[in-house]
Amino acid sequence: MKFQVTLAAAFLPLVALAVPTAEAQPAEPVPAEQVPRSLDEVSKRSSIGCKIVNSSSDKVNCRSGPGTSYPVVAYVFPGTTYTFNCYKSGDCYEGNCTWDRVNYSGGVCYVNGYYTSSACSAAALGKC
């Protein structure tokens, strides 16, 4: 009889842990695109200097979002190197559908990847 009481007393804490409480809340899932796959992806979000190329014009539009329907908020100039920090997918231009993000004094703007040097590849920049 003493053995049965001791055995029951030994399992009582385990039973208490198995009973869910009303206060427990399920965790919210984290979207996959917000979770870096590796430390390499975290480092890709660093700033990269890229030259503006492929333009016969004296300036290239830098838009408020990743597409030609977004308003032009700044300009970048061919032959000049700017600091880009990530890219977003958007409208395609000349077969390039990535838009590289650059900071400027008024905020951020996006330049189609067609106009940035190969240093600003999607693999090098990482997604915003």
CATH number at residue 65: 2.30.30.40
Q: Give pTM, 2 decimals.
A: 0.64
Tell me the pLDDT band of 104, cut-offs 50, 70 and 90.
confident
Tell which residue, 61, 85, 86, 94, has the closest CA to residue 75.
61
- Domain span at residue 104 reads 44-128
Tell me, yes or no, whether 39 lies in a domain.
Answer: no
* Average pLDDT of the residues of the chain: 76
Residue 83, phi then psi, degrees to nearest 5: -95, 115
Tell me, yes or no, whether 27 lies in a domain.
Answer: no
Tell me, yes or no, whether 38 lies in a domain.
Answer: no
| Domain count along the chain | 1
Q: What is the pLDDT of residue 44?
A: 45
47-87 pLDDT tens trace: 888 999 999 999 999 999 999 999 999 999 999 999 999 99
Tell me, yes or no, whether 4 lies in a domain.
Answer: no
89 has pLDDT over 70: yes
d(CA 33, CA 44) in angstroms, rounded, equals 14
Write down how long the chain is. 128
